[in-house]
DNA sequence: CAAATTACCGAAAGCGCTTTCGGGAAGAGG
DNA sequence: CCTCTTCCCGAAAGCGCTTTCGGTAATTTG
């Protein structure tokens, strides 16, 4: 591979000139530039990123932090769609992604510390838990940052229009004739959960529908199992809902499971609508009608907001809310007379 | 944050001594070490990773390359399970993962070049396409490397016991009374596809079952749609199989869809068994019986093989084959009389 | 008590690159 | 022909850290 010293020796120029030629400085003649590039190609020269970063204070790396709350990490079907799209967008600008550990030579360190150690140019955090101390610390720092799926006044954020999504869901059920509409909700400590609850309440109010006792049930953190449990609570009610709006697709899978185990049919007995539009719900029975979050667009928006800060070299606080849309499949039907 | 120069000034020692104290050299007294560590803590000192790497030639970073063949990247439900477990294992040893782009200041470069540029300590590639020129190049290099889901004599590899897996599947169907067993296969250019075909043929031979005309159908690259198409071909046969072993879960989903659309029932009319055990198949109808690949163990084994090389600082070529097991669910039934 | 260890510390070189600044040569202008 | 630009190029400092090697002071040994 070699260094610029080797290149300098080989071509007879100084390392200064070599470096300039490589970096397209204008004060080197076309002829010498050509010679140097030629020599570089011949010896497969590649600049050392660490030396460059040390000297320029720019690492061309973006640190990514996943919420580890549920220990799924990159397996999360919604988050990994976002990160994939984010990666594509930043890759085009020449950035690499680094997934940091919290372990430095067996010494524990926070994500912020690790990112500072690595001197990343920016940080993306994909996390729903606003109480996470690690995330708080990142947000307080002065490194360019964008956080996804969570709101904050102190840094750039991007998330879906959860209130509108909830409204879409409720209105859709209403138009199918449903009046007894329940909501299986995500925990209120999670922004997405709270916003969808709010949207549900708003929509119900706008439609002059009462939220009957027990119709708003907290199902925690979006897992299949929690969804199932929540639905079982609804099925115990004397006054059962005819439709349920579920705050997440994974939960909705559990919800459908519970309904089926109860001997009821989806959607003939109970309609269910989910949220997210993760891939697998196209393959369950019935195919789930849901509110689609556009992971591609979320990832791109996040990249955009972060790149903006990195080139401006200052923190900005922009909020980007991505529209959602309803995807009609087969889990909702007109209410039975 | 500050540098070791600041620390030196603050404590009155030389930067040499500061560095030694920080790195637990034994030729610095306990007293001065304590002072220096104390000062370091006070000023939130963190070593600069780039400077360290430049000086030590160790970056504590592992480059990861995903097969981009199907453009799913980190969304791939099987691969991302592996990478997640790999990450956990390497994190414990203090390594960070870097997902490289192929773009360096708008200059195209290969993954190998990029990894050299970043001076990673090792590389993990998760890829099934043995023809990928990028992967070939990585394997030819002298950087420690481990490749997952593919065989090679030139570097450390880890993959599932595909032959045994296929055999398990076929034998299981046989024990249920099936004799007309078809195989919907992955493409032979993919190691996993080829091995499962081989296992299928072997098992059929061991059981003295003929592979009837049209019973071995190539379904390409493991997608739902390709699986569906392949099954439609099987359904056109005069002599339809009573059971089909499908080389991947995603394909199996398509297979079931095709069977259902044909008015037949799984498993009463046709049994289907998949491969992988990705999460979503627990939620489809019927729940898919499958051969489970242990992504956790694969990721750990890959980490182990790579760490071994990185500490030995030389390339090794070890092959690790991870056992599989059959997970019985509801998509297979005894053959109809 | 002199000599030989041992314990502790620092000067300096080096890792590979960028960037400022100055200087010489060539060309332009009068 | 002389001065002023413009064009190219290189010396040197600096980025933050590691590591070798040598030196002094303190300690041990005989």
pLDDT tens per residue across span B39-75: 999 999 999 999 999 999 999 999 999 865 555 566 6
**Strand B61-66 and strand B156-160: pairing?**
unpaired
* A79: closest chain B residue by CA: B75
> A145-185 pLDDT, tens per residue?
999 999 999 999 999 999 999 999 999 999 999 999 999 99
Share of chain A above pLDDT 90, in %: 83
CB distance A54–B59 less than 8 Å? no
E-only strand ranges, A95-153: 96-99, 103-104, 107-108, 122-126, 145-148
> B246-288 pLDDT, tens per residue?
999 999 999 999 999 999 999 999 999 999 999 889 999 999 9
B69 touches chain A (CB under 8 A): no
The C-alpha atoms of residue A130 and residue A98 are separated, in whole angstroms, by 22
Residue B83 has pLDDT above 60, yes or no: yes
Residue A105 has pLDDT above 70, yes or no: no
Predicted confidence at residue B195, as pLDDT, reads 96
The C-alpha atoms of residue A67 and residue A48 are separated, in whole angstroms, by 32
Work out if A313's Cβ lies within 7 angstroms of strand D.
Answer: no
Partners of B75 in the beta sheet? none
Predicted confidence at residue A89, as pLDDT, reads 94
Gap from A207 CA to chain B (nearest CA, Å):
34
- Per CATH, the architecture of B61-160+296-324 is what? 3-Layer(aba) Sandwich (3.40)
The CATH class for the domain spanning A61-160+296-323 reads alpha beta
CA nearest B86: which of B149, B163, B134, B155? B149
CB distance A83–B74 less than 8 Å? yes
A22 touches chain B (CB under 8 A): no
Residue A1 has pLDDT above 90, yes or no: no
The C-alpha atoms of residue B122 and residue B264 are separated, in whole angstroms, by 50
Strand C, nucleotides covered by protein (CB < 7 Å): 7-12, 14-22
Residue A31 has pLDDT above 90, yes or no: yes
B285 touches chain A (CB under 8 A): yes
- Confidence band, pLDDT 50/70/90 cuts, at residue A100: confident
- Separate counts of helices (H) and strands (E) for chain B: 12, 14
Residue A76 has pLDDT above 90, yes or no: no
Residue/partner pairs of A47-53 with CB below 8 Å, 24 or more apart: A47/A4, A47/A22, A47/B117, A48/A3, A48/B54, A48/B117, A48/B119, A49/B50, A49/B117, A49/B118, A49/B119, A50/B49, A50/B50, A50/B51, A50/B53, A50/B54, A50/B59, A50/B119, A51/B50, A51/B54, A53/A119, A53/B50
Give, in Å, how far the C1' of C4 lies from the CA of B52: 38
* Average pLDDT of the residues in B225-247: 97
Average pLDDT value for chain B: 93
- Confidence band, pLDDT 50/70/90 cuts, at residue A108: confident
Domains B4-47 and B61-160+296-324 share a fold: no
Residue B35 has pLDDT above 70, yes or no: yes
- B15 Rama sector, left if φ>0, alpha if ψ -120 to 50, beta otherwise: alpha
- Confidence band, pLDDT 50/70/90 cuts, at residue A129: confident
Share of chain B above pLDDT 90, in %: 83
Q: Which token pair is B86? A: 């790999």
Q: Which of residues 18-57 of A touch strand C (CB under 7 A)?
A: 19-20, 22-23, 27, 45-48, 51-52, 54-56
Residue B198 has pLDDT above 60, yes or no: yes
Share of chain B above pLDDT 70, in %: 95
CB distance B96–A98 less than 8 Å? yes
Give, in Å, how far the C1' of C16 lies from the CA of A51: 5
* Average pLDDT of the residues in A21-35: 94
Candidates B75, B82, B105, partner chain A, best to mutate (most A CBs within 10 A): B75
Give, in Å, how far the C1' of D12 lies from the CA of A7: 19
CB distance A94–B102 less than 8 Å? no
Give contacts of A109 with chain B, Cβ < 8 Å: 46
* B282: closest chain A residue by CA: A284
Residue B211 has pLDDT above 90, yes or no: yes
On whether the B4-47 domain is CATH 1.10.1270.20, my answer is no
B321 touches chain A (CB under 8 A): no
B121 touches chain A (CB under 8 A): no
Predicted confidence at residue A235, as pLDDT, reads 97
Give contacts of A46 with chain B, Cβ < 8 Å: 109, 113, 116-117
Residue B306 has pLDDT above 90, yes or no: yes
A75 touches chain B (CB under 8 A): yes
> A259-305 pLDDT, tens per residue?
999 999 999 999 999 999 998 899 999 999 999 999 999 999 999 99
Contact (CB, 8 A) for A159 and A149: yes
Residue A6 has pLDDT above 80, yes or no: yes
* Average pLDDT of the residues in A83-94: 92
CB distance B96–A96 less than 8 Å? no
User: Pick the residue with more confidence: B123 or B129?
Assistant: B123
Q: Where are the domains of chain B?
A: 4-47, 61-160+296-324, 162-293
Q: Which CATH superfamily is domain B162-293 in?
A: Response regulator (3.40.50.2300)
Work out if A59's Cβ lies within 7 angstroms of strand C.
Answer: no
A260 touches chain B (CB under 8 A): no
The C-alpha atoms of residue A27 and residue A31 are separated, in whole angstroms, by 12
Q: Which token pair is A145? A: 């940052």
- Separate counts of helices (H) and strands (E) for chain A: 12, 14
CB distance A46–B113 less than 8 Å? yes
Residue A337 has pLDDT above 80, yes or no: no
CB distance A283–B95 less than 8 Å? no
């Amino acid at each position: 591979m070699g260094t610029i010293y080797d290149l300098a020796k080989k071509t007879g120029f100084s390392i200064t000139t070599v470096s300039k030629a490589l970096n397209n400085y204008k004060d080197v003649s076309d002829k010498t530039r050509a010679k140097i590039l030629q020599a570089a190609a011949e010896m497969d020269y590649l600049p050392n990123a660490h030396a460059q970063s040390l000297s320029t204070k720019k690492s061309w790396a973006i640190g990514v932090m996943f919420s580890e709350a549920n220990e799924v990490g990159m397996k999360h079907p919604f988050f990994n769609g976002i990160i994939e799209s984010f990666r594509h967008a930043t890759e085009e600008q020449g950035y690499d992604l680094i997934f940091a550990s919290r372990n430095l030579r067996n010494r524990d360190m926070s994500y912020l510390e690790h990112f500072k150690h690595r001197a990343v140019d920016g940080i993306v955090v994909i996390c729903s838990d606003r109480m996470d101390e690690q995330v708080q610390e990142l947000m307080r720092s002065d490194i360019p940052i964008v956080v996804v799926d969570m709101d904050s006044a102190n840094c750039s954020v991007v998330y879906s229009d959860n209130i509108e999504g909830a409204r879409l869901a409720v209105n859709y059920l209403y138009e199918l004739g449903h009046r007894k509409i329940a909501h299986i909700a995500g925990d209120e400590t999670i922004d997405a959960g709270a916003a969808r609850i709010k949207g549900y309440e708003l929509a119900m109010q706008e439609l002059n529908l009462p939220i009957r006792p027990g119709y708003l049930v907290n199902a925690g953190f979006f897992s299949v199992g929690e969804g199932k449990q929540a639905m079982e609570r609804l099925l115990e009610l004397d006054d059962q809902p005819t439709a349920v709006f579920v705050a997440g697709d994974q939960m909705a899978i559990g919800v459908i499971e519970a309904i089926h185990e109860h001997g009821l049919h989806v959607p003939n007995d109970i309609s269910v609508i989910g949220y997210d539009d993760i891939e697998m719900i196209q393959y369950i029975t019935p195919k789930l009608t849901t509110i689609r979050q556009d992971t591609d667009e979320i990832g791109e928006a996040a990249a955009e907001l972060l790149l903006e800060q990195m080139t401006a070299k200052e923190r900005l606080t922009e909020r980007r809310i991505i529209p959602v849309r309803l995807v009609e499949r087969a889990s909702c039907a007109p209410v039975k007379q």
